[in-house]
Structure 1
């Protein structure tokens, strides 16, 4: 089910809205074929739309193309055509000024034919204000992605992890390897704070998230000390604060992981959250000035 920015549930269904877009052609939402995900390979990105602005769309499109290239997909559509697909979707679904959209490059099993571009609005959950203030509960699960740098729709993985999250009444699940190392969340990246040091798992072990990228850029710009290093589950006891980052939550404080408790109000965490909000605002202004990819780019 979808939710509003207050964290309350609203109606369900996918795609949301009246229309979806395939290869820059508009179709009514009820014609969308969910069966495509059982045929071939679907590379995807989820982009947050805020006041009709697809946040950091260029970053998402770059990662989408990189995912497909990593599987040797041929004839990948250029970035400007993917952006046009996104803009058209937002234009034709005028009631959705805010929400999440899924952008998909779907190709046959052999990945020889050029992939199709799909974009459509999907159910989402944006944390409530109290969750940003008090933090959220996470669990750990023994699970690993097969290819962390390739974002592919894997329905079995999504369903199994989502079931555990619901069962434990958690916001998110942190994935833990057989060796006991925490890598990332099922839909997020993981950060921890010890004293004045920010720690996050190395990029080679995780899906390099867009929000994660900007948090590290903020650290570099503001002179905040950080380390990209492996985090064993046993290390979780030594951190004073933790947070996750992602498309929907942005920067979200953690109050607990399993039975471990953390402070959601660490000054460094609050500063990073504030600086990230500024990055989002700056991008929105940049986009509205017309500084985006287009068919003429």
Structure 2
């Protein structure tokens, strides 16, 4: 989300030594949401709230957290931060915030036992800003990697990336990606692999070819997940948000090969936060474009640092 959408703020918090953290997207009052979960190993909390048929139609924040299932504790801190500010669904004298949360697996690198908790979620909310968005190995992307088909020692860093599509009408569709993929990352415009599993000489291996050889069946462990967040200032209903999220999720097969595997928890969260005239398919296609760019930015910025080496993984 390289351009500000009014009322939206993004914050990161975590442990740069432990290589874990979380990323929050704070949404303005009245925001509506949708979700699409395509991967076979998702770790989620309250994403069912975003199903159009369910009662709660307002969403207050999205949270992406490292730490696998342990990291879901960080949502409690975001809930407390929002409650302290009077945000949430009114239930009598109480307000209960809606914070759909998706976790990524980052337990391979860093310090054993260091995981995001409620204090991390609270700190991410405290750190949230409208612009600019920090990218690379920050927040939920601090300990992520891509190209895990040959194990973590042959992978490259994942991370956080952001991008925005703007229309002359004033409509904006912004995306943030936390990239932590089993597969390799390809630039769909050139077809070239830009990050992923490497051979012993440092070149890229063909992850899909290895899958065709049956390697995935030998290492079924859910240690990957790429999460996309799409936010628009267009006015969409919850049902339209869901449809737009489905379309935006096409960004994953466009540049992650393979994606949506049994070991990935690939998900897209989408929020409508404004009143600009918009149509669901328009937002979905723009969201797909923004997500592709965000994914490419994430790995490009993250790998300005040294990639993971053999021996760094536990």
Same fold judged by TM-score > 0.5? Answer: no
Structure number with higher relative contact order (C-alpha < 8 Å, ≥ 6 residues apart) = 2
TM-score, structure 1 as length reference:
0.29
- Larger Rg, first or second structure (1 or 2): 1
Structure having the larger proportion of residues in helix: 1
